Structure formats: C-alpha cells, structure tokens
Amino acid sequence: MKRTFRARAAGATAAALALTVAAGVGVARAGDDDERPGKPGEREIAALFGQWNAALRTGDAGTVADKYAADAVLLPTVSAQIRTDRAAIVDYFEHFLLNKPRGEKIRSVINVLDRNSAIDAGLYRFHLTDPATGRVSQVVARYTYAYEKRGGKWLIVNHHSSVLPAGG
C-alpha cells in the first residue's frame, strides 16, 4: 500500500510539474508574441491621432475621410447619425470642419492587439471656433479609435466620440 501511495504521489507530482512547464511555455510564447519584430508600439499608434488631427487642420473633409477604412463606422461627437460609408463620413466632417476643430488628447489608453490592429481610447478636448462669432469654445469628449493596418496603411475602422457627461 505504501508503494501505491508513493507511486500515485510521484505520478501526481510529475503531472503537476508537466502542467506547470506547459503553462510556463504558453506564457512565454504569449510574451514572445509581444516582442516580435513588426508589431507596432504604443508610440506608433499614438501618432495616428496626430495624423488624424493634422487632417482636420487641412479643413478638407475628404482628407479627413482618407484616414478611415471604406467600411469604417463613425459614431461622431455632434451628430446622432451613425456614419458607415465614405460619403456619410465626408458629410459629417464637412459640417464639423466649419468650426475649425483642433484636438488634443487629455488621457489615452492604447492596446496593441497584434501587428495589424490596435485600439486607442480615452479623453480628448476640442477647441472649436464658432464661424459666426469667432468665439472659441472647448468640448471634452470620450473617444475610441479602432485601427487596422490594411495594405500597409493604418486606417480607422471604428471611431466613437461622445461628449463627456457631467459628474463622476
């Protein structure tokens, strides 16, 4: 009986060790994936907002729409209409750009999902100029950009922006 117990204990220990090693290899492989050459860094993804913001400053809705994939979804800050094609995205920005928007990030949380996709979410502030009065106002909003690299170019595939609600 003592041998059976020891044999079972030894078997259980070996099984536990095997599972631990297998799990460790799995973790190592997952970690290795994060270090593979070609996977974008957070800085590269953060720079995409700067490119989008620069497109806003051109005042050209088509230039801004070029930052979006053909099948992108835009849930814009100051429109209740969901924009799901280039024409609708251009239409939104034709109106939005009348306010000469200039955006700045307040807080950003970036998740690089893989070599070809990433999410940037957080808070940004827009400085808007009323075309009639010239008065500048600020709007703080929550945002989420989902990016995909297509044909070697980073494009926005989903963009949600909503005015930050009052309170906590």
Q: What is the pTM of this model?
A: 0.77
Average of per-residue pLDDT across 152-168: 92
Domain that holds residue 62: 42-163
CATH number at residue 143: 3.10.450.50
The mean pLDDT value for 130-154 works out to 97
| Averaged pLDDT for residues 26-42 | 53
By the 10 Å C-beta count (0-12 exposed, 13-18 middle, 19+ buried), 34 is classed as: exposed
Q: Which stretch of DSSP H or E encloses residue 78? A: none
Q: Are residues 76 and 25 in the same domain?
A: no
Q: Indicate the number of domains in the chain.
A: 2
User: Measuring CA to CA, which residue among 26, 31, 25, 35 is closest to residue 115?
Assistant: 35
Residue 126 falls inside a structural domain: yes
Does a structural domain hold residue 127? yes
